[in-house]
Structure 1
Amino acid sequence: MLSLIPGAVTDSAGRAATVHRAWPRSDGGLTFEARENDGGLIRAGVVDSLGKATLVPYGKDPVLGDLAGALGNGDLVVHRYRKRAVLRVGDGYRKILPPGKAETVAAAHRRMRTLAVPAGVETPDVVSTLPGGLTLSLVRGTSFHELGRAALGKPCLPNGWTQGWELWSRKWPLLAANPPGTAPATHSPGDEGATLRQWVERCVESGQLDIRPEKLEQAALEVERRLLSGAPQLPVLAHRDLHDKQMLFSAAEGTIGLIDCDTLALAEPALDLANLLVHLEFRREQGILSTAAEQFASDAIHSTASAMAVSSDRLLAYAASTRLRLACVYSFRPPYRSLAEDWARRVLDS
């Protein structure tokens, strides 16, 4: 089966947009996010099960009822059709969500902020909440993703990169070990295995990788066995989507920041650390992070794992899960589909 994801699409008015990421739907189709070639507006779109791609009118969404009204107050930066949208508004961000979702997301951010303050980590404050969404304050600093890109081609690693990772490695164990008053849900090794299997199934059904389905499915089962066979570590506070775009460092203020805390949970410490570690490997493969910068960050992450008594077996098990999952996720992103396939083949052959 060939991939349904187009690299580019044009609407009825002749406005062309480049697709940069997509998500599978249960009916065999896809939703996607694109950016207009002229002007850069974010556009959502859908691909039906026959492969017909359609750009949705700018800012329109039948599920995200508050989106149309919010557009006049901010710049649309994310639009996942029927799922969520994010606007930059003044000194913060407005998340537009389906009915009934906003309070759950707001509660996760409030819980994280309560726990982050004693650890010296900055997180967004919930400025306001409405049934259709919530507004979050800005967090000071530059993302580690941007810091890594800025280090490319430099003869020496910039102070921002080295100082940021040194500070993060001191702060993260304090935050993760902070016991929540009201415990969030637990994300178990079994849950991690189920998440991986779901992504592999989506990838196989959509034909995103030119790899035998049974080989991908067998790899997912083997990773799941590794996750379930080892002795799990006691769970700690987990971000569950920790990567370089979610972490910020302010050299001027000497602070570490953390954003997008929607998926807050309790989990083994290896989950977040492995997710971060593998994302940096992938950034190097993307050509947006130097080998030296990745090595410095990797050393900091391994040092943090040691400080948190994470065994190498648990870190390797979660890293294996993350590598295969990232191959599937990025196979739905046209600019990186070829890289995702190469990455997947190396993961399966290792």
Structure 2
Amino acid sequence: MTVPKQIVTNQIVTEQSATKWGAALHIPDAVTIDGQDWSVRRAWPAGDSRIAWEAFLPGQGFRVGYLDEHGATVLDADRDPKLPGLARLLADGGRLVSHRPGKRAVVRLPDGSFAKCVRDGKASDVIAGQRRAIGFLPGFALPQVLSSDSSTVVLSVVPGVELHDPARLGAEWSRAWAESLDAWAQAEAHPTSTVAAAAPEMPTAMPFHGAADEVEVLRTWRERARPLLETARSVRGETLLADVDELITEVTISLDDGTASARDGSIGLIHRDLHDKQIMWDPISGPGLLDVDTASRGERALDLGNLRAHARWRTEQGLWTPAEAAVVIDEIARVVPASGIDPARVSVYERATLIRLACVYAFRPAWIDRIGWLIEAAHAM
């Protein structure tokens, strides 16, 4: 894939002066703060022609800010005016784990627990997601809500290692994935109150995420990434935006195939963003599940398609070997028939995930020149 000049690597933007490139089209590899270059790891659309970014410097941690037509704005260290709980947690000895400015931050507290910092009034959404996810018990360990206020939720640690990291799991890689897929297959279609849940005053209404909702997710991400996609071209010479539009049209038709969905009949509890970084595994306590805010009812094929797309992408990223990815793909293939899921529905949701990942990774400087692979993989299905 040809990378346009506007998004080539090794761009640096300083906090002292505005640059001439438009922020909607250019995400730098680094921002210079007090004379040091911080690597931009992730970025997100932030509305109003702005892009939010998170940068990292070894030994220094994270800094965040925004890009717009005037250049880069860097937030004060350990501060975010839209996340009122963040400064206090860090002042009390917490360590920043991730930070999407204006939206969410995760802080590891001195006692080992984790705090999610969100906008004021949004903590209830996190707690409600925790309650909706109780149907993943007992197959998965889930974090428990230890305390909360209007903008912060403190969660217990889920033991184990992320299934993103095969090197740390070593010879246990296959066992960890087999047990994790078995745990996923056990999830209750309708969670009950038999498991103690956090914040019992919160409603437990279970939203339904259907095919039309998934199409809307794709269209939303397409619009977010549009300025980046319309300037890059695929191997066929088309803009990536044209490719994405074509793929969304095809996937919409497939997802709207009500006959296939009805024949499958596998509607139940889903995570909605299931991938390797959301699953923990410990040889004693077994699998654990993270970030369950999006838990809902829907086609269970969605979770497996999402997981399989990520496994394929990890190989392309060079993070997993083909053999390591094959373990995950084989375990998914094992649980599909056992769970009564139509394999065709897994494939169409996998294709949808590949399209969405192309849009998401368009905002990540390290991967912008590889998103053509995601689009080609979606075309090939």
Shared fold (TM-score, shorter chain, > 0.5): yes
The residue that corresponds to 1:129 in the other structure is 148
One-letter identity of the residue aligned with 2:225: C
Instruction: Choose from 52, 68, 86 the match for 2:106.
Output: 86
Task: Check if 1:215 corresponds to 2:234.
Answer: no
Please tell me the root mean square deviation across aligned C-alpha atoms, in Å. Answer: 1.9
Contact 1:110 1:125 (C-alpha < 8 Å) held by counterparts = no
Instruction: Give the AA of the match of 2:149.
Output: L
Whether the 8 Å contact between 2:132 and 2:191 is mirrored in structure 1 is: no
Which deviations, in whole Å up to 9, do the C-alpha atoms of 1:176-223 show, x marking residues without a partner? 545446442111110001101111122213447613233321211211
1:146-192 deviations in whole A, cap 9, x for unaligned?
Answer: 1x2447xxxxxx43111112212322111154544644211111000
C-alpha distance in 2 between matches for 1:345 and 1:170:
31
In the alignment, does 2:362 pair up with 1:331? yes
* Counterpart position of 1:102: 123
Q: Distance in 1 between matches of 2:96 and 2:82?
A: 16
Which residue of 341, 349, 352 maps to 1:321? 352
Change (3 A) 1:139 1:208: farther
Give 1:254 shift: 4.4
Does structure 2 retain, via aligned residues, the 8 Å contact 1:238–1:269? Answer: yes
Match of residue 165 from structure 1: 177
Match of 2:89 in 1: 70
Structure 1 residue aligned with 2:9: none
Q: Does 1:269 align with 2:300?
A: yes
Aligned length: 337
Q: Percent identity?
A: 34
CA distance in 1, matches of 2:344, 2:243: 23
- Hey, what's the Cα distance between the residues in 1 that align with 2:231 and 2:358? 9
Shift of 1:334: 0.7
Aligned to 2:276: 244
CA drift at 1:347: 2.9
Q: Is the 8 A contact 1:208 1:331 kept in 2?
A: no
Task: Extract unaligned runs of 5+ from structure 2.
Answer: 7-24, 194-203, 234-238
Query: SS of the residue aligned with 2:148?
Result: strand
How far is the alpha carbon of 1:67 from its aligned partner? 1.1
Kept in 2: contact 1:331–1:341 (CA 8 A): no
1:192 aligns with 2:220: no
The CA deviation at 1:108 is 1.4
**Helix, strand or coil for the counterpart of 1:122?**
coil
Mark the CA change 1:312 to 1:227 in structure 2 (over 3 Å): closer, same or farther.
Answer: same
Partners of 1:24 and 1:280 lie apart in 2 by 25
| Residues 120/218 of structure 1: CA separation in 2 closer, same or farther (3 Å cut) | closer
**Residue 154 (structure 1) aligns with:** none
Instruction: Give secondary structure in 2 for the equivalent of 1:245.
Output: helix
Flag structure 1 segments of 5+ consecutive residues without an equivalent.
152-157
Give the secondary-structure state (helix, strand or coil) at the position aligned to 1:138.
coil
1:69 CA drift (Å): 1.2
2:136 touches 2:184 (CA, 8 Å); kept in 1? Answer: no
Indicate conservation of the 8 Å contact 1:203/1:209, yes or no: no
**2: distance between equivalents of 1:266 and 1:27?**
33
CA 1:70–1:265 in 2, change beyond 3 Å: closer, same or farther? same
1:40 deviates by 3.3
Normalising to structure 2: TM-score of the pair? 0.83
CA contact (8 A) 1:110 1:126 kept: no
